[in-house]
Amino acid sequence: MLERFRAYWARLMAPVARLLLRLGVSPDAVTLVGTLGVSAGALVFFPRGELALGVVVVTVFVFSDMVDGQMARLSGRTSSWGAFLDSTLDRIGDAAVFAGLVLWFAGGGDALWLAALALYCLVMGNLTSYARARAESLGMQAKGGVAERADRLVLILVATFFADALDFLPLLVAAMVLLAVASTVTVVQRMVGVRRQAMQA
């Protein structure tokens, strides 16, 4: 759903992309720094219960995901390697966000069932991406669904921030339950779509 706004945000980030290119920064470097920043924000602050602060740090670095692609297009340096690196490191950053929540709930948050729920969201989120990648490797399509990456990331970050800022944990619980259901439905939708394509081949 939120992918439709990607072009709008890309235009806003274009000046930053041009500045970094003039400074001699490569798109791959921005991708790597962005992933390290997201991972550090989630894995340093979330396990300590500093959820809102962690979200702020993560969000700052999430925008690098748009900057690196914009830099590659502006410089004419798009490549299969860059696309592979970006996609692979995206999975690491996404996993770090949920892993940070798992560590918090399993530790100071003292809620093992929520740790299990966050872990399920982590696994299913990665499975939705795997299903698409595997389908494309077989010459088929597995896009779409009710929980694409941008939707999942925005929902969990917004819910985590306000659950901490407002001291209202049920908000985060509801978001994780919604993500768990939506991710499961998305995986099933993609499996059904791939099976339909396979049967027609």
Sequential pLDDT tens for the chain (201 residues):
445 555 666 677 777 778 888 888 888 888 899 999 999 999 999 999 999 999 999 999 987 777 877 787 777 777 788 888 888 998 999 999 999 999 999 999 999 999 999 999 999 989 998 999 899 989 998 887 777 777 888 899 999 999 999 999 999 999 999 999 999 999 999 999 999 999 886
What HEC string does 152-177 produce? Answer: HHHHHHHHHHHHHHCCCHHHHHHHHH
Contact in structure between 72 and 10 (CB atoms under 8 Å)? no
> Which residue of the set 65, 68, 90, 151 is catalytic?
90
Q: Is 94 a catalytic residue?
A: no
- For 148, the domain range is 2-200
Which helix H or strand E contains 114, and what residues bound it? Answer: helix 112-137
Token couple for 198:
């396979």
Count of structural domains, the chain: 1
Q: Can you state the angle between helices 51-62 and 64-75, rounded to 10 degrees?
A: 10
CATH of the domain at 18: 1.20.120.1760
Q: Number of C-alpha atoms within 13 angstroms, CB side, residue 60?
A: 12
